[in-house]
Chain A
């Protein structure tokens, strides 16, 4: 288990002040990085569960210092260039608060999110 995984809920803010930014240590090396992603957040739906932060394969999400209307800390991107737009955050989020969009293809207004072009593997 990754020791960097942040605890959630009430404990998270304390943890954050000890560790204000994740190092983005898992960002893939430049030469293999072909995709870029955008993450959208509907902050007032977030309940601070931490799934997106824990299961982002690139570890580019962390709790922010902001509060949403319910008093939870929504996530923030600490390394925008590290996001690949895989949308695992969106797939995990139980509150439909966050989703990722892959920018491998030029986005057109009517197009479905490019992240859906990926095959779901068993």
Chain B
């Protein structure tokens, strides 16, 4: 029997006179672009569910939320959310987002991108935005590979993993992204896996409400490439690995949360501190020097 309809159908009998209640994620996604391009078992869509719920929970004005992505599978998130969104160049989501935020500080700017985009080609921008405590919300979906281009090794690929550019096994030390983020000055650092849907939602909600450079790493399966090449099964198998191997350690020392190939995973919220943002520091400093002559970078002055 084949199912041909595109409307959601209830899988069981409904009570008398019950109206259809839509999926809470529907108002946040561009339904005219469904189904999306992500593979069966890919975890990116799962993180988008969490993001939709976090937007709702944080009560942010959706007109002020902007999502900026780079290039890659996670980079396609920007195109699927029903918000002002930008699909920029590879590695440069963070500086683009910086320009948006500084020209209109009222915007809530979310950078949603992948491990290679943010930490390899985008690495320099990542560390400087963290250093400056630029008020950006970074969501890094880490699937240990460059998925869109066919499964090459990336800065988070763990040692011994097979990828197309390390056909005999990877031999590089991967980044410990939470450690990198904290050491560069991020004020909120957390890692979860796509299995930890409630925790991701909560972390994203906290990050949306927090000022400054927030970083959430979400480990996710890439079934078509990373899992297949390493014979790690399907997306569900990786989700089960996440479930089994994760140890929740809130406040853990980020130096000690490095990942290894199919090894233990330390998850949790590691850093949640306060620090003035880039704009706060700028305003404070220039005010100190210019006093009454400083007009501030008030929004209306910058925007035409």
Contacts and interface: CB of A to CB of B under 8 A. Distances in A.
A pairs with B: yes
A96 B13 contact: no
Contact of A40 (B1, B8, B44, B235): B8
B293 interface: no
Interface of B: 1-15, 18-26, 29, 34-36, 38-46, 48-50, 53, 56-57, 195, 197-199, 201-203, 205, 234-236, 239-240, 244, 250, 269
A35 interface: no
Nearest to A107: B18
17 contacts: A8-B236, A9-B40, A39-B12, A41-B8, A41-B10, A68-B2, A75-B11, A87-B24, A91-B50, A92-B46, A94-B49, A95-B38, A96-B29, A96-B49, A99-B23, A111-B21, A121-B198
Contacts of B22: 99, 113
Interface residues of A, number: 57
Contacts of B25: 90, 96, 99
Given A72-B40, A95-B36, A120-B202, A54 B236 contact: yes
Q: Which of A47, A54, A80, A96 gathers most chain B CB within 10 Å?
A: A96
A120 B57 CA distance: 9
Contact of B53 (A5, A72, A91, A122): A91
B265 to A, nearest CB: 16
B15 A7 contact: no
Main SS class of interface, A:
loop
B210 to A, nearest CB: 15
Interface string A15-37: 00000000000000000000000
Contacts of A77: 11-12
Contacts of A94: 38, 41-46, 48-49, 235
